[in-house]
């Protein structure tokens, strides 16, 4: 099912990009500038390290942030995997056939070069994010 999807990043929910990134930086990651995503109501930073999957830190701004419930339940945790796709609408249609539910229509993500993203949920898989190439 994921043959045309390429891994892009794993997403962490955090209450503090500063505190979480400090630990990753000690592990050899470099951090991008933090962006403020008004649509998703979160702050976002990306962590990179040679030969390692990219990590996205998603910080809640307040209780209305989509990650606030995840943080309340689990504390800092990974919560989504993002795949890059050639055609986001086609990929959504493909995942819907596999019983994924689209959480919202694609929106522009400031932290990811203003490319389109969306999230889908599957009860046996959890959250997947799609990123338009």
Residues near Ni ion (CB under 5 A), total: 4
Per-residue contact flags (x/-) with Ni ion for residues 75 to 104, judged by CB under 5 A: -------x----------------------
CA 94 to CA 120: how far, in whole Å? 11
Q: How far is CA 55 from CA 59, 70, 99, 115, in A?
A: 13, 17, 26, 17
CB of 63 to Ni ion, least distance (A): 20
Choices 11-19, 47-55, 71-79, 94-102; region in contact with Ni ion by CB under 5 A? 11-19
Kindly state the helix (H) or strand (E) to which residue 34 belongs, with its residue range: none
Q: Which is nearer to Ni ion, 58 or 94 (CB)?
A: 58
CB-wise, 12 or 94, nearer to Ni ion?
A: 12
Question: Is 49 strand, coil or helix?
Answer: coil
The distance of closest approach from Cβ of residue 42 to Ni ion in the complex, given in angstroms and rounded to an integer, is 10
Mask for 38-77, x = binds Ni ion (CB under 5 A): ------------------x---------------------
Query: Which ranges constitute the DSSP H helices of the chain?
Result: 17-26, 68-74, 88-97
Q: Counting contacts by CB under 5 A, is residue 129 touching Ni ion?
A: yes
Cα gap 35→83, rounded to integer Å: 20
Q: What phi, psi does 32 have (nearest 5°)?
A: -80, 175
Footprint of Ni ion (CB under 5 A): 11, 56, 82, 129
């Amino acid at each position: 099912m994921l043959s045309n999807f390429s891994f892009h990043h794993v997403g962490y929910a955090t209450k503090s990009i500063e505190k979480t990134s400090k630990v990753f930086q000690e592990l050899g990651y470099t951090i991008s500038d933090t962006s403020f995503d008004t649509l998703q109501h979160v702050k976002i930073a990306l962590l990179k390290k040679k030969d390692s999957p990219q990590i996205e830190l998603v910080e809640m701004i307040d209780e209305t942030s989509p990650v606030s419930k995840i943080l309340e339940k689990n504390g800092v945790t990974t919560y989504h995997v993002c795949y890059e796709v050639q055609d986001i609408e086609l990929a959504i249609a493909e995942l819907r056939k596999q019983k994924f539910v689209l959480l919202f229509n694609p929106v522009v993500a400031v932290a990811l070069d203003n490319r389109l993203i969306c999230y889908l949920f599957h009860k046996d898989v959890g959250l997947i994010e799609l990123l338009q190439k």
